[in-house]
Structure 1
Amino acid sequence: MSSNRAVAYKGAGKVEVVDIDYPGYELKDGPGVNPANIGRKLPHGAILKVVTTNICGSDQHMVRGRTTAPEGLVLGHEITGEVIDVGPGVEFIKTGDLVSVPFNISCGRCVNCKIGRTEICLNVNPDRPGSAYGYVDMGGWVGGQAEYVLVPYADWNLLKFPDKDQALEKILDLTMLSDIFPTGYHGAVTAGVGPGSSVYIAGAGPVGLAAAVGAQLLGAAVVIVADMQEDRLASARAFGCETINVAEQDPREQIARILGREEVDCGVDAVGFEAKGHGHDAKEAPATVLNTLMDVTKAGGALGIPGLYVTGDPGGVDEAAKEGSLSLRLGLGWAKALGFMTGQCPVMRYHRPLMEAILHDRVHIADAVNATVISLDDAPRGYAEFDKGAAKKFVIDPHGTTGLATAS
């Protein structure tokens, strides 16, 4: 039996690299595993040697202690890897394939999967529709910030790269297909971005920057990115975005300066439930982003909301926030007839065309999000720097495959 090492949540503010079981074709008991999933047979699964696995802002919410994640949970839902073994029920995926893993775990068999709503699969999580690797309340599937990971329903879930050598040359772009590139793109699509659009994107973290790249790919005329950290805004300006520092500037006034009018066509929330208010000494105010987006988006426009909102937040600013209740100006949204789209991104809807855009040099998402490769042992450092607001997307390389890991 081979060994396996992984990044595990060890309590608020703490992660460790630990020894875990090598994956097999049965879901075992462990931190966060739903009892109804224990013993589940996985003949349709494949075991991957992880090539790259990224630290996500959603992981950071758990590590900050802002969810009900149990200690010991193995983290990581952004996974790219090489297939090294397949179960007896796998027909098309082969050993040696280099693949991207959608962070949504889906069965391909239920009514939601059959209509393309893979983010709310009905058969993989006994708690609720939808599942993901290494994430709280998502069924207990083992995370991929590890040396090896199991992917269920491999023929359905895995996106095979057509040329392995070409894929390895572009691995820092392709690693973003598991989550943030489709997620940001989904935010832009559901906001209605199209040729000639103006769009306001709240948040210049990796998902916000991916949404900005997606908006440009969709033909937006003006992409405005707002954040409170100047180095993140500099990343947005580097690929042609307008920016607003909401710690210092009023969004409406700055939109008017940029566009000559105070409202945009479309809005994207890439911040989520840990949002702060505006101004120098802003405190956490989780409804701020959504209310601002309703204010600055034109009547009849739409909001794409890929930013994460949760049903349980132990660190919420008040009792309402602790259960995910926010003080939204819904009357304003109703009066302006705004559309809202929330929830996880259905990655499989987008990852193949976005892969083609990467392979044919139409987009360079790794540069836009400042992809920074680190070793598995350096994962705790990556989490600590990301928590401090580093303008980077940390990519963990557990086996040194890329040869690009930075020293600690």
Structure 2
Amino acid sequence: MTTNRAVAYKGPGKVEVIDTEYPTFELKDGPGVNPANVGRAVHHGVILKTVATNICGSDQHMVRGRTTAPVDLVLGHEITGEVIEVGRDVEFIKQGDIVSVPFNIACGRCRNCKEGKTGICLNVNPDRPGSAYGYVDMGGWVGGQAEYVLVPYADWNLLKFPDRDQALEKILDLTMLSDIFPTGFHGAVTAGVTVGSTVYIAGAGPVGLAAAASAQLLGAAVVIVGDLNEDRLAQARSFGVETVDVSKGDPRDQIEQLLGVPEVDCGVDAVGFEARAHGSKDAGEAPATVLNSLMQITAAGGALGIPGLYVTGDPGGIDEAAKVGSLSLSLGTGWAKSLSFTTGQCPVMKYNRRLMMAILHDKVQIAKAVNAKPIGLDEAPQGYQEFDAGAATKYVLNPNGYIAA
């Protein structure tokens, strides 16, 4: 029988590479699996041999102990793979295809999927709309930071790359299609970025950098990224982005120095619920800071794209309200300025094919923008530690040796 190895959450601050079961076309009980999903047949799925699978900031929230994730949950929702087994009911995806897997699992049959709202599919998570691989409260679908992984509804979910050799040559770019590139692009699109826009993006982690590259792709006149981490700000500057060091105070003053006015047309929150106060490198956590700041610096009539993660359960929250996702927002500011807000999971399939074409035809270098670095599966714990410490790097796991040295 084929073996499988995977990265699992082992408690706050700790991940390990473990031996785990090889996937089958039936959902089994395990850490985080919704009981209503146990025994569910997945004849519409495929089994992938993982080509690349990435460490994400959303994974890091769990690893820090900031969610209710159970011990031994297999992590990973940013998956690219080769199809090695095909379920009985799969019609169009074939063995040997190299494919990108949208991080949000969708059935393709429900009302939301038919309307393009694949981030809130109604049929894959018995508890709430929306699901993802290897993530707490998302139905218990096993994560993809592993040698092999099951993908359901394969004909619907998978984006097949047109040429195998070309895909493997550009794999560090194409692996970003599973999450952070569409997510950053969604943040920019929903913020209203277009030709000539001025844009402020809070957060210079991988999603923030992907949003910045996306804003450039969309024709923004000026893209500004704010963060506390100088290494990440330097990474943003490496591809032509202006930066703001929010440890020096309110970003309004620095934006005014750049633009001549203390506001932008479009705002993107790529930070989420672990936001810290502005004004100091050692500023404490203040989860509403980014949202309130964006409302202040976005021009009246503008929009905020909010791909940054906010949760309803945060055991590490700074107060009882924050522990249930209740934040002290200055909603009056947003109302008075007629601002629009878009939150929630990015519907990856809305964008991934177009972004794939941009990559394949050399219109964007997303791996360079986010400083992608391939590492072995056994190096995952170190990758998590370095990422948590603020490394300006997007770690790409290479569990089966597809990525050349």
Q: What's the TM-score once normalised by structure 1's chain length?
A: 0.99
Match of 1:39 in 2: 39
Distance (whole Å) between structure 2 residues aligned to residue 402 and residue 341 of structure 1:
36
- Which consecutive residues of structure 2, in runs of 5 or more, have no partner in the other structure? none
Residue type of the alignment partner of 1:200:
Y
Instruction: State whether structure 2 residue 233 is matched by structure 1 residue 233.
Output: yes
Residue type of the alignment partner of 1:369:
V
Matches within 5 A, 1:22-101: 22-101=22-101
Distance (whole Å) between structure 2 residues aligned to residue 25 and residue 286 of structure 1:
40
Instruction: State whether structure 2 residue 212 is matched by structure 1 residue 212.
Output: yes
Residue type of the alignment partner of 2:342:
M
Match of 2:105 in 1: 105
Matches within 5 A, 1:340-355: 340-355=341-356
SS of the aligned residue for 2:141 comes to coil
Matches within 5 A, 1:117-266: 117-266=117-266
Q: Give deviations 1:199-241, integer Å, cap 9, x for gaps.
A: 0000000000000000011110000000001110011111111
Distance (whole Å) between structure 2 residues aligned to residue 250 and residue 157 of structure 1:
42
SS of the aligned residue for 2:139 comes to coil
Instruction: State whether structure 2 residue 275 is matched by structure 1 residue 275.
Output: yes
Match of 2:403 in 1: 402
Distance (whole Å) between structure 1 residues aligned to residue 109 and residue 314 of structure 2:
32
Matches within 5 A, 1:375-390: 375-390=376-391
Q: Give deviations 1:91-123, integer Å, cap 9, x for gaps.
A: 000000000000000000000000100000000
Structure 1 segments, 4+ long, off by >3 Å, are: none
SS of the aligned residue for 1:302 comes to strand
Match of 2:294 in 1: 293
Residue type of the alignment partner of 1:161:
F
Distance (whole Å) between structure 1 residues aligned to residue 350 and residue 228 of structure 2:
32
Distance (whole Å) between structure 2 residues aligned to residue 249 and residue 371 of structure 1:
30
Cα offset, 1:37, TM superposition? 0.2
Distance (whole Å) between structure 1 residues aligned to residue 184 and residue 57 of structure 2:
13
Residue type of the alignment partner of 2:403:
T
Residue type of the alignment partner of 1:286:
P
Q: Give deviations 1:151-181, integer Å, cap 9, x for gaps.
A: 0000000000000000100000000000000
Distance (whole Å) between structure 2 residues aligned to residue 8 and residue 258 of structure 1:
44
Residue type of the alignment partner of 1:70:
P
Cα offset, 1:249, TM superposition? 4.1
Q: Give deviations 1:272-291, integer Å, cap 9, x for gaps.
A: 00000011231000000000
Residue type of the alignment partner of 2:160:
K
SS of the aligned residue for 2:51 comes to strand
Instruction: State whether structure 2 residue 344 is matched by structure 1 residue 357.
Output: no
Q: State the superposition RMSD in angstroms.
A: 0.5
Distance (whole Å) between structure 2 residues aligned to residue 263 and residue 190 of structure 1:
18
SS of the aligned residue for 1:85 comes to strand
Residue type of the alignment partner of 2:96:
G
Cα offset, 1:250, TM superposition? 3.0
Distance (whole Å) between structure 2 residues aligned to residue 400 and residue 81 of structure 1:
12
Cα offset, 1:248, TM superposition? 1.6
SS of the aligned residue for 1:33 comes to coil
- Which consecutive residues of structure 1, in runs of 5 or more, have no partner in the other structure? none
SS of the aligned residue for 1:357 comes to helix
Match of 1:338 in 2: 339
Match of 2:368 in 1: 367
Cα offset, 1:403, TM superposition? 2.3
Residue-pair matches, total: 404
Distance (whole Å) between structure 2 residues aligned to residue 14 and residue 327 of structure 1:
31
Distance (whole Å) between structure 2 residues aligned to residue 127 and residue 92 of structure 1:
30
Residue type of the alignment partner of 1:206:
P
